[in-house]
Structure 1
Amino acid sequence: MNTAPTPKAQVPDIAAQITYAMRTMGVAPIPRNYELFYEAYIGSNPTLTKELAALGSKATQDELDELGRQYFGNHQSQVIENAHSKLIAELDGLLRVLQQEQTSLVSYNKLLGETYTRISSKSHTSADILRSAINILSEATGDTMAHGEKTVEKVSQKSQEMDQVRKELDEYKRIANTDSLTRIANRRAFDERLAAIYDSGTSAPLTGLVLADIDNFKKINDTYGHPVGDKILATVATVIRANVRKDCFVARTGGEEFAVIVDGNTAEEVNQMCERIRTALETTPFKNSKTGVNYGPITLSLGFCMAGDAEDPGELYAKSDIALYCAKNAGRNRTKIYEDGMKKDFTKSWLIYKR
C-alpha cells in the first residue's frame, strides 16, 4: 500500500491533469483519446502507460487509435462518437418534421382568414358565401388532418430511432464502466459513484464505503502465475457480489483491491456484511481440478468508514483506506472500522494513482 500521506484539502483534479498532458503532447481532445490517457494515467495498465509515453510529443492519431484497438478491443469510445452523430442527425430530422408541421398550420390559418374575408364580403349571396366557405374549410381541414397523421407517424419513427441511439449510449456506458476481468464495476464507475454520495452537499449517515484487499496476492501471482491470479480475482469478485444486497455497488478499484458502497445500513450492519464476505471467501476452495494444486486459502482484509464520519469523497476514501491498512497491520483476514486515532500515514489519494 502507498504510504505517502495525502493532505485533505488537496484532492487532485484528474480531468484537468489528463487534459494538460494531452495538450502538452499535442493530442486532439476527443473522447477516445481521453479514454486512452485516463487508463494510462491512473496506472491500471503499466504496459499501456509505457507505450503511450514512448510515443512522445509526436504521436499521430493513427498511432493513438492503434493503441486503443490493442488495449480496448474495438475502441469503445468510437461507439459514443458514432452514437452522438446519429443522435444529432435524428434530432435534425425531427426538427424538420416539426417545421413542416408549423408551415402546414400557417397555411391552414391563412385559409381560415380567407374564408372569413369571403363570409364578410357583401358582394356575394348567402348561399354562395356558405358554399364557398364549406368547400374551402373541408379541403383545408382534410389536407391538414392528412398532413398531421403523416407528422405523427414521422415523429413516432424519429422517437424510436432516437430511443435506439439512447440504448446504444447506455450499452457503451455499461461496457466502459465494467472491469473486463471480473465483470463488476471498474475504477471509473467507482469514482463517479463515490462522488455522488456527497452530491446533495450533505453526507448520508447510513452510507458506508468498504475497501477490501486480497491478502498476499503478489505471492500468489509470483508462485502460480498471472493466469491463476486472474481466476482468483474473478472468483473473489463473485464471492463479494454474492454476499451483499443486489443494490450494493461493487467495484474492482485496481489490482487486487475492491470496493463496496452500501446504502441504508448502520456501521454495525456494514461490519456484519464485511464479515459475511470475509468468512465466505475464507471457506471457498481454490483448487485446480486437473492438477490437484491447492491455491488456497484466499483471504481478504477489509476496512470501512461511514460517510457521516467524513466531509467529502477524498476524506471518506482516505479513512476507509486507513482502516484497511490497520486490518492488514493487525494480521490480515479481518475487518476494521475507521476510528479516530488510527495511524494516518498510510493513505492513498482518491481519483489518482501516484507513481
Structure 2
Amino acid sequence: MSTVVAPKAQVPDVAGQITYAMRSMGVAPIPRNYELFYEAYIGSNPALTRELAALGSNATQEELDALGAQHFAHHAGRVFDDAHARLITELDGVLRTLRQEQTSLESYNRLLGETCERITSKNNNSADLLRSAIDFLAEATGDTMAHGEKTVENVTQRSQEMDQVRKELDEYKRIANTDSLTRLSNRRAFDDRLAAIFDNQMARPVTALVLADIDHFKKINDTYGHPVGDKILATVASLIRANVRREAFVARTGGEEFALILEGNTQEEVMAICERIRRALEATPFKNSRTKVNYGPITISLGICMASEAADPGELYSKTDIALYCAKNAGRNCSYAYQDGMQKDFTKSWLIYKS
C-alpha cells in the first residue's frame, strides 16, 4: 500500500517581507526598527499597525523611536541611556579641559614668581637681564592666552554638544507624547497632565476635565474601513483643537476618545466650550470629494467634571466618564456635566492606564 505524502506548506518569508518593507520606507535596518515592523506585520497590535502606516514613507528615526517608546517600554530606556552616555562623555571632556587650564595657569603663576625674583634681585640688574626677562614673560603670557582661548573654544563646543543632547531629548519627549495620527497629545501626556491638576489646590475650582467620544465610530470603521476612520479622527482632532484656546490641553486617549483639560473656566464656561465643539462638528460635512460618498453625520458626546468635585485623578476621571456615559445614554450628540446621583454600572478607571 503506497503512502501519499502531502507537499510541504509554503512558509512565508516573514523576515524578508519585513526587511523589504523597511527598505521601501527608507528605514534603517536596526533591531528596534525591525521589532516595530515585525509587530505591525503579524497584526498583534492593531493600533501600532495603523500608527506605523500613518507615518508614511518619510518617517524619521525620532518618530519611529517615539512609536517604539509608546508601545514597548524598553525602547524609551534605550534612548535615555544613549543620551546619558553622551552627556557623561561631554562632561568628562569639560572636566579634563578645565583641569588642563588649571595646570597651565599654575605653571604661568610659578613662572611669574620666579621671573619677578630674578628681576628684583640686587645681583641681577643688567639691561640684558631685564630684556630677556620681559621677552620670556611676553612669550609665556602669549602661550597662556592662546591656551586659554583654546580652553574657551573647547568648553564652548562641548557645551553646545550638551545643549544639542538636551534639545534632542526635549524633541524626543515631545514626539513620544504626541499621537502620530492626530498630532494631539497622547495617553502618556494625558496621564501626566491629569495628575498635575492636583498639584495646585487653588486652581482646582476653575479646572475641568472633559472626556469626548465620537458617536458610533465602530460602525464607521466597519462600514468604510480604517483609512476613512483615521481621516475622520484627524479631522475631529483638528476641529476640537480649533475650538479651544491655544493653551488648552487636548489629547487623544484611545481609539475614538479624546480628553481636554481646561483651566481658568467655570463649569458654565466649560459647558459652553463643549457645546461649541459639538455644534461645530455636527455642522461639518464629511464627504469624499472624489467618490461623493457621505460619511456623516459625525457627532460627538462629551462628559464634564470640575476638579474640585474629586479628591484625586482617579476619581476625577471616573466622574467625568460617568458624565460621558450619561451623555451617551441620553441619545448621544450632547454634553453632560457630572452631578451627584449619576449612576453607572461600570466606570473605566484612569488607574488601569497607569503603568
**Common fold: TM-score over 0.5:** yes
Percent identity for Structure 1 against Structure 2: 76
Separation of aligned partners in 2, 1:140 and 1:126:
21
Query: Residue 45 and residue 110 in structure 1: after superposition, are their counterparts in 2 closer, same or farther (change >3 A)?
Result: same
Match of 1:217 in 2: 217
Q: Relative to 1, partners in 2 of residues 1:45 and 1:191: Cα closer, same or farther, differing over 3 Å?
A: farther
Aligned-pair CA distance for 1:301: 0.6
Q: Partner letter of residue 322 of structure 1?
A: I
d(CA) in 1 for partners of 2:275 and 2:173? Answer: 32
- 2:275 is matched with 275
Taking the aligned partners of 2:265 and 2:79, their CA distance within structure 1 comes to 38
The structure with more radius of gyration:
2
State how 1:182-261 maps to structure 2 within 5 Å: 182-200=182-200, 203-261=203-261
Aligned twin of 1:176: 176
Give, in whole Å, the separation in 2 of the partners of 1:346 and 1:210: 18
Q: Which residue of 2 aligns with 1:314?
A: 314
Aligned mates of 1:277, 1:126 — CA distance in 2: 93
| Aligned residues: CA RMSD | 3.4
Name structure 2 gaps, 5 residues minimum.
1-31, 50-64
Cα separation, 1, equivalents of 2:48 and 2:239: 29
Write the distance in 2 (CA, Å) between the matches of 1:285 and 1:294. Answer: 8
| Secondary structure in 2 matching 1:284 | coil
Query: 1:67-98: CA deviations, max 9, x gaps?
Result: 959x78xx776554443333332222222222
Tell me by how many angstroms 1:282 deviates: 0.6
Letter of the structure 2 residue corresponding to residue 169 of structure 1 = L
Q: Distance in 2 between matches of 1:318 and 1:273?
A: 21
Instruction: State the SS of the aligned residue for 1:290.
Output: coil
In the alignment, the residues of structure 2 paired with residue 131 and residue 100 of structure 1 have an alpha-carbon distance, to the nearest angstrom, of 30
Any conservation in 1 of the 2:203–2:264 contact (CA below 8 Å)? Answer: no
Kept after mapping to 2: 8 A contact 1:186/1:253: yes
Deviations 1:175-205 (A, max 9, x none): 2111111121110111111122223466533
Preserved contact between residue 325 and residue 346 of structure 1 (Cα < 8 Å) = no
**Are 1:152 and 2:152 counterparts?**
yes
Q: Partners in 1 of 2:198 and 2:169 — Cα distance?
A: 26
User: How much does 1:210 deviate?
Assistant: 0.8
Q: Distance in 2 between matches of 1:313 and 1:234?
A: 27
TM-score by length of 1: 0.73
Matches within 5 A, 1:55-204: 79-115=79-115, 117-118=117-118, 123-125=123-125, 134-135=134-135, 137-200=137-200, 203-204=203-204
Shifted more, 175-184 versus 112-121: the winner is 112-121
8 Å contact from structure 1 (residues 94, 158) kept in 2 = yes
Q: Deviations over 1:132-152 (max 9, x none)?
A: 764554343322221111111
**Kept in 1: contact 2:119–2:125 (CA 8 A):** no
TM-score (norm 2): 0.73
1:346 — aligned with what?
Answer: 346
Corresponding residue for residue 21 of structure 1: none
Rounded Cα–Cα distance in structure 1 between residues aligned with 2:84 and 2:209 = 34
Q: In 2, Cα distance between the equivalents of 1:195 and 1:268?
A: 23
* Higher RCO (C-alpha under 8 Å, 6+ residues apart): 1
Alignment partner, residue 9 of structure 1:
none
CA contact (8 A) 2:301 2:328 kept: yes
Amino acid at match of 2:341: G
The CA deviation at 1:129 is: 8.3
